[in-house]
Structure 1
Amino acid sequence: MQKWFSLSEIKRLIGSLYSLMGLRKKADREAWQSRPRKAIGGGLEYHIFSLPQEIQHAMKIKTSNEKIQALESKPAGRLGSVEGAKLQIKEKAEKTVNKNLRLEGMLKADCLDDLAKRRMNAKLEIIKLWEEFEKSSTEGKTASQYLFCCAYNHGQIEVADSVKDVISTISQSSLMMWIKQARNEGIVRLAGKYGNRKKTGVFYANQQLNDFIVAMFKQYPHCCAKQVWRGICANMQRFEIESAPSLRTVARFMDDWKRDNMAEYELMKNPDKYRGKLMPAFGNASQGIDRYLQLWETDSTPTDVMLKDGRHTIIGVIDVASRRPKVFISKTSNSVAVGLLMRRAIIDWGVPDCVKTDNGTDYVSRHITELFKSLEIEQSLCPPFTPQAKPHIERFFGTFTREFLELVPGYIGHSVPDRVDIEQRKSFAERITRGKEKDVDALPELTAVELQRQCDEWIENVYLKTPHSGLNGKAPIDFIADWINSGKPVHRITDPMSIQALDYLLAEVPGNKGIRNITKNGIRVDTFNFIAPELAVHIGAQVRVKYDPFNAGYINVYWLDGEVLCVAQCPEITGVSRAELAQVATAKSKQLQSEQRKKHKSVMRSMKPKNVGKEILQHYKDMPGRYIGPENVIEYNSPALQQAADQVGAIEAMSEPLTVDEINASAHKVTPEQEKLMAEIIDLEERKKANAEREKEEKKARAARYEEMLAANFEGISEDDDKWRRYWETSAEGRTHIRMKNFDAEPWPIINAR
């Protein structure tokens, strides 16, 4: 039996059911199973079982007819066997097709909507009632069907109201058709073929139109149907269409596309929301993490609470195995603030095996990386723009915001819509009068210290005691208690000297990564000179310094390889205590995704929706307009205008010619146009002078930037700074600067003058 057919062979077998072009579009749209055709001409051939049932049915009937014709061409002596073969082939084909249709109908019946199911069930109930009626009838089949339909229409047959509501009357022809459809095509055929024209419109037949709308969604996610329709009207020749679809058709297709491609549209409109709502999350980020202090996750987020000293940032850390969190309230987030949070967590909990952070500058700074390296803690960096790589701290921040921060005085909302909702809680009159009278409720009530205390209390008394789904319903405090009470080891820092050493590791470094030169005046840090007897024999050497975490008058001095040199002090400020400082900088972005992005870029390149505004304008400019001919002008006049004209004429007649002196004097007057030109010349000279001064200052700034890098021996500079340095050294300005500097450094020759 032949199983693979080309489109030409299928067209020959099914006749006029589909055109060759219609078959090709249907094969592409429904993704029929295909393979390359080995015969001459190439192309594709399709497996018969991947074709729709109606096409299979038509092909089998055609094949049966061809077989019958072949049998009929044989000698007349075999006429009886031919006739028998005809019947056998027809019956076999019809039984096979009807069986497949019934099986397909049973599968499709479960996918029907409510209205279609009601129609199908009502017709099935009527067929069942007819079969019972036929058994008790003494008339022939045709007469019985007629009597049954009359009895049903006059309400003489008891039937459920649900059936009568759907089908109030029936005819004999309808009853016969339903019975035949149920027997040959399955029960799903009784539901009717409503909606078979879906996805057959112009946007599905013309791929360019489809791609144009997808490109518009990508470039302008919130575009309306009228804008898209005007873009189509401006590009009809490009899309090879004679007339544009109606505005309603465009709007209907846009709504259908958004509904059928909800995830793709959300990715175009809001990638962050797509990642949170629609991106698959089938895995388990805590799989394999079963030990206390095995893995920590840390991140930063705005507090969403307005404090007396402004808005602050929350830096958080969570132990993945126990879900134990700790937060630190800081004005901003930098490496110093992250280090202080690590200090609190290490002293209170213990030393972790690994800490997972993002790629923000506050987490990958030398200060933090050296801290982890000194404590032999592994630092795991998440890929850029992937907050889902550290889901536990992200989920804690969500819970922390919803269950705690929203109840804190001064909560301003997590987003602009949240803030608007908070403002809408007051009536319009209250919002208007708030500008005249100070709103006491809107003033911040808490300081950063007070908020820190409340956060710590909520974590210790609420969060740790609440059952957690990630711990199979166990509370975090119970997990910690079970771990500690079982005698399992916990690496802690309890010795006072070790805690003091930890504080020195966490000490902040000055600018330029703490690298300084020892001069004859000592070490210069923050406009102060720090001195020590040990520095006297190392003048000119480079060292790295750190602030003393407890006294602002001292600094710790190290060699560049980390070896301790000494402790230097500033006599002017010795003994002044140094307060804890914290600064924060959060960095969150996103990654883009995937095959959808590549497809969108391809469509964008081909459709170029950025130019649709110009195309629409040009399309309307090219449209033929209504010609306006010359006007039939009638001179307008009034008594007042006539009187004024007479006065003007009299004045002109009375005016005398100018004398020669007056003419010569007027010739030397400067016209307004000449004054304007002179002002422009003066302004141009002033701008040239200002540009020259600015260029001079910029050259000085570039030279100072290079000298600052040179002073650090180009160590620790970023990749961008290194690229700029190499480019500047090869430029004319840089070569001149270096040549002049070397010239100044060379000793002047001694000239003996007599």
Structure 2
Amino acid sequence: MKLWLTAAEIAELSLPGLPATKRNVNAFAEVSGWNRRDGLWRPRKGVGGGLEYHLDLLPPDARRAYVARLMPDAVPEAVAEAADAEPAATHMRDDAAEARDARLAILAAAERIYTSAKLPRENADLLTVADYTAGRLALPPWVRAKVPTLTLRSLKRWRAAARDGRTAALAVDRGAARRGLGVLDTAEDGQVRVYALALIARQPHLSADHVREMLRTRFGDTLTVIRSGGEVKTVPLPPIRTVQDALRRWKDTEKVALTAITNPDAYKSRFKLAGNNTASNVTRLNEVWQIDASPMDALCVDGRHSVYLAIDVWSRRVVVYVSKTPRAEAVGLLLRRAILAWGVPETVKTDNGSDFTAKASQRLLASLGIEHTLSPAFTPEDKPFVERVVGTFQRDLGPLLPGFIGHSVADRKVIEARRAFSARLGDQDNAKAFCVELTGMDLQGYCDAWAENRYQHRPHAGLRDRPGLRIHTPYGAASAYTGSIRRIGDVRALDLLLAPVAGKDGVRTVGKQGITIERSFYHAPQVMPDTQVFVRMDPADMGRAYLFALDGGEYLGEALCPEILGIDPAEAVALAKAARKALIDERTAEVRREAKAIKPRDFADTILGRVPPAASKVVAFPRPSDAHSTPQLTAAGDVFAEPKAAPTVLQAADAALQAEIEADLGGSAPATNVQPLRRVDTPQFRFRRALDLRERLGRGEVIETADALWLGGYEAGPEFKSQNALYADFGEAAL
């Protein structure tokens, strides 16, 4: 199998998820960052040049498709589809999905051995383990890369999980537990991260090497971290690559806070709040629902309506919702009625109608954790249960209602003839001619009564063969179910998910003035600027919006429009500015304190002043040197030379007195040829004196007050500390 592919070769393969032209493949590679993954790309050898990409760079779907073309399927198609259909598979990372598929491939190989060898299951599993360990199983290399070893116990555990429909348990995401818990993020109770951010805030141009040296000076060569379970461990200071990755990540996540500290003008210009006024395989209840819509075969006084029906495939219960026109909002309201009555389904199946594929419907299902499957176009037989119940509903309830217009063209012709006859008699009231009396609300009441009082209590042919079921009705099937049902505790949360979104997709970016919705500014001071948010409008008050993270999984706060709410714009802006300032101050308080403690000279003193440990105990002897001078140097030095004093002419009396003093001095000095080498105290002499005084005090002797005062002042000074360090390293040789 070829592992290195050019862009042209990738395009010719037409793999899923990848472009089919060389130019677009190159563009996809640039956007995906393939060229930044060292070791997985290389220059192409041969005429023309270009690049070659390793198979590991391809997306998982494309990689699996490529491997499947060159070797038989390791995982049976039905098994793979069932695994991908599990709700947990939608949030699974690619590497975890590959680990799951590798275990499913081993299970498939074990099943083939059991079937072909016709051995007891235990013996067949032992043979599978032995063959896998010896490398005799015909499995792709990626399977063995994901599962290096195999034991009998693991094989049995995997089979039990697959049999129970829990193939997601076979996925192994080794990085999930460590994500966001790196050494630099958590070391020293988070102080390493705070200090690093403070360094960046104080001097944004520091390199990762500089930051690492500062961290070493502050915290040492080891860091203390708390592992899971409360275990305290000491780990080495991470290498420079780890520091680089952490700095790159922090500069992105803390961009606004760092800008507020390092560049107030840029923060004011870019981020600060501005002041504008602004069925057979279905085994449990709620496993699969099918939904469809149909025009109602009856007229209402406010026009013709559509009905949406949802049926639970396992119990055959039905919920009906009446809507003026087919739309995504009607899908949401139908789901609300069904969820409140039955609980939350696992899967909802619909056709490809625009109301079902709309972003609002897709977003609602995703937010509720419901898998959405679409039937192929023009294949109503792919969702037979809801198609059948729509027909039953129209035939059973429609003729009973006032305003019934028939199920077919022939029925409508009869009614139209009655309408024409009415007109000939001079009765122009079409509503009276068609017996139209119901409103949409009246029609909803009749639909609810039909579903609750008639349909769910009538025997259903599809439930007659249900084992253990005594009452073969939808109500009896639902009542006999003993499994658990997922229910939403807070109905208000469900109602908020049904609220309309801002614009088409609901995505907005918080700016200086908040967010813009329909040309109005909504203040959002509790959200940092330059943050993308998902916006839902309050149905009861269009001046209020609710902000969420892009995936909808985190509530960020609300945004208010003073103009719509009738609030004084100036007061609203002032309050918003104060709230934004409080948010920035809270986010940057700890970093500001650390930044203030860092002096401008700390960077140079720390980085340049570090002495290698091996060299710190070595004293260099002075090297011989010769004085170097030039006429120009001599002339330049004369500028700073002391002027020569003019000779002094003494008076006769003064000259006699000077001669007498010199004679006395010359006569009293002892004749000796010894000249003192040091005429003043040196640091070594002063340090020796301090040692002697300290030794006398240690023996209990009493020293003079002047000596004690001198000793205390000397030991507090920098000279004693430096001499003491030399004495500790070299002993008497230092003196």
The TM tier, using the shorter chain, reads 0.3 to 0.5
Higher helix share: 1
Give the alignment's TM-score, normalised by structure 1: 0.35
Give the alignment's TM-score, normalised by structure 2: 0.36
